[in-house]
């Protein structure tokens, strides 16, 4: 029985230098590979001792021999985001959202309907007026498909935990409550009560991280410029209607609130007070929030005839 029969073959290479580079790199990662020279075929054969090591080594081997593109390094901004511990408040919001989503799959709409601002398109929030006050906030926990909750949940986990860790629970909860309440109210007056999702809050978190770094460069966290552009691009893409009914007003109001929080949430003691720059970005926030509301409330009905 050959000693390599119980090992996992990674691959074969004719180039000794590349083979040694692979072995050396894996050793740096605490993965020990066996290198054997096959004189008959004039090839170097690499073996791993276990399945986990073999998987990592094979991925690297494919890159070195040109079978796969090298993985792109994670942007340094995302390294700081991923290093933030998962926040307790964030866990609570994600857990409630997942529970409500699963309740609809397994229990029908009985619980789900208690989270809408109202169960009637017309009637003026009669449930809230009759004491069901939680409804003014709870639409944030409603998600209508798997992609919806995954998209919102991933951003909430990353950006929410980041802000909770760096700014504290009180600040984080305040940002969540204000952005959630106002985005819900704005969306209700535009389209009625049948909407939901964490996306208004997610856009508030995005707006905060974006502006906070811009006005207070000393903070240790930020988003890569490409991700900011992606989220803003997604914001406008949602207006096209390609994705179906979208709570655009909630997105716009949430983004505006997060931006304003970001502009005013630091200390100006160590830098020049740039009032014109602050005013400019506050006006931009107003355009995102009030502009989206006005467009959906006044302009869109005229365009669609609804």
Q: What are the residue numbers of the active site?
A: 199, 251
From residue 179, alpha-carbon distances to 29, 137, 298 in Å are 44, 10, 22
Name 231's Cβ contacts closer than 8 Å, sequence gap at least 6: 203, 206
Instruction: Report how far apart the first and last C-alpha atoms of the chain are (Å, whole number).
Output: 79
Token readout for 238 is 């949602």
Q: At what angle do helices 169-191 and 199-215 cross, to 10 degrees?
A: 130
What is the rounded distance in angstroms from the CA atom of residue 54 to the CA atom of residue 222? Answer: 36
Taking alpha carbons only, the member of 136, 65, 142, 50 closest to residue 103 is 142
Taking alpha carbons only, the member of 142, 67, 39 closest to residue 99 is 142
What is the rounded distance in angstroms from the CA atom of residue 214 to the CA atom of residue 85? Answer: 23
From residue 161, alpha-carbon distances to 89, 197, 205 in Å are 8, 18, 10
Name 111's Cβ contacts closer than 8 Å, sequence gap at least 6: 100, 103, 104
């Amino acid at each position: 029985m050959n000693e390599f029969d119980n090992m996992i073959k990674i691959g074969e290479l004719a180039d000794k230098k590349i083979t040694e580079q692979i072995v050396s790199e894996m050793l740096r990662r605490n993965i020990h590979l066996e290198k054997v020279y096959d004189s008959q075929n004039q090839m170097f054969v690499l073996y791993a001792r276990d399945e986990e090591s073999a998987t990592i080594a094979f991925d690297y081997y494919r890159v070195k021999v040109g079978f796969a593109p090298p993985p792109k390094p994670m942007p340094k901004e995302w390294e700081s985001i991923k290093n933030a511990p998962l926040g307790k408040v964030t866990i609570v919001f994600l857990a409630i959202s997942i529970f409500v989503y699963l309740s609809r799959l397994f229990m029908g709409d009985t619980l789900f309907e208690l989270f809408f601002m109202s169960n009637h398109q017309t009637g003026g929030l009669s449930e809230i007026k009759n004491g069901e006050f939680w409804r003014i906030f709870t639409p944030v926990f409603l998600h209508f498909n798997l992609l919806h909750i995954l998209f919102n949940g991933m951003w909430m986990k990353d950006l929410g935990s980041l802000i909770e860790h760096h700014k504290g629970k009180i600040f984080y909860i305040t940002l969540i409550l204000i952005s959630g309440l106002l985005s819900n109210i704005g969306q209700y007056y535009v389209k009625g009560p049948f909407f939901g999702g964490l996306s208004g809050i997610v856009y508030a978190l995005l707006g905060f991280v974006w502006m906070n770094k811009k006005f207070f460069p000393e903070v240790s966290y930020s988003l890569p410029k490409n991700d900011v552009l992606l989220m803003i691009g997604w914001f406008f893409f949602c207006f096209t209607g390609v994705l179906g009914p979208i709570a655009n007003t909630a997105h716009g109001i949430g983004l505006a609130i997060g931006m304003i929080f970001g502009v005013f949430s630091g200390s100006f003691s160590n830098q020049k007070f740039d009032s014109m720059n602050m005013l400019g970005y506050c006006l931009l926030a107003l355009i995102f929030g009030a502009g989206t509301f006005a467009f959906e409330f006044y302009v869109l009905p005229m365009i669609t005839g609804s």
